[in-house]
Amino acid sequence: MIEAVEVKRWHGTTDNRVFGWHTMSVTDALRLQDETFRCPECLGRIKLRQASAEKELAAHGTHYSKNPGCSLGDCFDGEKRAHIKPVN
């Protein structure tokens, strides 16, 4: 289950601003609008899912296109590989 994602944004202090990938929880990421999120492991693009009380599911992310080489995905085949279309 993907509980944290990476988002490209400004961070750091006023004097030392850096634009780059930043890891945040899916719960926090859901508060952002129109951002591109990627998987911290395989760097594939991630779609965010709201928590569902009905299904007793926490907020989480899923890959836009499945990556059998990512241990965070639901179709991991046991061998880690980068996503075929990584987000840079």
- CB-wise, 4 or 42, nearer to Zn ion? 42
- CB-wise, 18 or 75, nearer to Zn ion? 75
Helices (H), ranges, 1-88: 26-29
Q: Is 4 in the site for Zn ion (CB under 5 A)?
A: no
Nearest to 47 by CA among 56, 55, 38: 38
3-state secondary structure of 54: coil
DSSP state of 28: H
- CB-wise, 9 or 47, nearer to Zn ion? 47
Q: Residue 16 is encoded by which pair of tokens?
A: 């030392």
10-69: contacts with Zn ion (CB under 5 A) = 39, 41-42, 44
# binding residues, Zn ion (CB under 5 A): 6
Only one residue has tokens 């299904």, namely 55
Q: Is 6 in the site for Zn ion (CB under 5 A)?
A: no
Per CB under 5 A, residues contacting Zn ion are: 39, 41-42, 44, 70, 72
